[in-house]
Structure 1
Amino acid sequence: MELAIGVVDGLRPDQLDLPTPCAGWTLRRLLEHCVGQHRGFAAAARGAGPDPALFADAPLGADPAGAFRRTGTDLTEAFREAADADRALWLPEIRDGGPFPFAQAVGFHLLDTLVHGWDVAAVLGTRAGLVATVDAHDALATTLLAVTEAVPDTPEARAPGRVFAPGLEPGGGEGRFAHALALLGRDPAWKP
């Protein structure tokens, strides 16, 4: 979360209408999705049931980076509470909704946070630092790649309108983060 917050903190309000690697999404739409996911995962971590409305995109207000930071910080605290309680999480947007064991749910959010952090960094021209930091952190890069490899890459799961596009062939020697992006259908060399 700290890495993604660092990326989003570099955003200027005049960049909110720029396109992102998420087809048809501007930075504003992407951040509204992220803030909604932070809120939804935090509610689930605090014991909320499988209510899709909890995960709805959220308005950013006058301080988009602040909204991302505040909801990300709240989510981190909610995850700490759920870890202490060894609580499973209901996640209505994933498969049958769960409940999912805590560690698996955190893995889902880790993937979402890092990939969308990369999306923002790609738009802002700062992805190299994020990629290098993740690749240099063995546990983080290994976990990201393991969670990514568990995402189904079938025609049904990767059809138009689904969360991820069909996987791409990973380029050789590009690092684990780039490999994970390619497996999720993102071109690690994407440019606005």
Structure 2
Amino acid sequence: MATKISDLLTVTAPRTVAVVRGISDDQLDLPTPCSDYAVRDLLNHFYQAVVNLQTLADKRQPEWTEKPDYLTEGWQDRFEAETAKLAEAWSDPATLTGVSPAMGMPQEMVGAIGLLELTVHGWDLAVATGQPFRPAPEALPPLYGFMEQRGPMAREMGLFAEPVEASSSEAPEIDSLLALTGRNPGWSAGV
């Protein structure tokens, strides 16, 4: 029996994978909305997060590497496979119980962070490389609720920047979500 988080990961992953597959080698040094990361750096960080979130689903301690390098031959195919494994890892309802020994936060929050990673980094990479990105509509309300409820705790842990203003109160939900993560929804490489 799948969990709601695994269902949302399953519908979100192909949208993000499409963006990752659309990144060419000549785009790897472009800037991203994450000011400390070029596309290459963000891809490596993101890839590591996808792999480590599988380990976190099993309530084990992942290995974090300061400067990972996943962008070797066939990396896009491997990334797609790892996102499928991510959804599978969170499909057991037991993954959502208790507190993560590695992260010190509720397992449900860790699972939601996986969904947030796929959605927000999907947008980051799309806007950095000039691609369209359409998040899974069913993922946005729970992610927005997560950021409203758990965002302050996640910011204290250094997972997100301080919120910024969305362009208007009528901004699309993705813009509101991005603003809650400290991203400028109107970001472009020239900003």
**Range into which the TM-score falls when normalised by the shorter chain:** 0.7 to 0.9
Q: What's the TM-score, normalizing by structure 2?
A: 0.78
Distance 1:125 1:153, change over 3 A: same
Query: In the alignment, does 2:41 pair up with 1:36?
Result: no
1:141 Cα deviation (Å)? 1.5
Question: Equivalent residue of 2:90, what SS?
Answer: helix
Q: What RMSD, in angstroms, separates the aligned Cα atoms of the two structures?
A: 2.5
Counterpart position of 2:88: 77
Residue 166 of structure 2 corresponds to 170
Shift, 1:152, TM fit? 3.7
Q: 1:90 to 1:52 in 2, by over 3 A?
A: same
Runs of 4+ in 1 over 6 A off after TM superposition: none
The match for 1:119 is 124
Structure 1 unpaired stretches of 5+: none
Instruction: Give, in whole Å, the separation in 1 of the partners of 2:44 and 2:101.
Output: 18
In 2: Cα distance, 1:119 partner to 1:184 partner: 12
Q: What letter matches 1:65 in structure 2? A: Q
CA distance in 2, matches of 1:91, 1:5: 29
Deviations, residues 32-69 of structure 1 (Å, cap 9, x unaligned): 11111111111122x242x2525764522123322321
- Paired residues for 1:29-178 under 5 Å: 29-45=41-57, 47-49=58-60, 51-53=61-63, 57-80=68-91, 82-83=92-93, 85-86=94-95, 88=97, 90=100, 92=102, 94=103, 97-98=104-105, 100-101=106-107, 103-127=108-132, 129-130=133-134, 133-134=135-136, 137=137, 139-153=138-152, 157=156, 162-172=158-168, 173-178=170-175
Distance in 2 between the 1:91 and 1:28 partners? 30
Q: Give the gaps of 5 or more residues in structure 2.
A: 1-12
Given that 1:148 and 1:183 are in contact with CA atoms closer than 8 Å, whether structure 2 keeps it comes out as: yes
> What secondary structure does 2:16 align onto?
helix
Deviates more, 1:179-188 or 1:104-113: 104-113
Q: How many residues align?
A: 173
Please give the TM-score of this superposition, normalised by the length of structure 1.
Answer: 0.78
Q: Relative contact order (alpha carbons < 8 A, sep ≥ 6): 1 or 2 greater?
A: 2
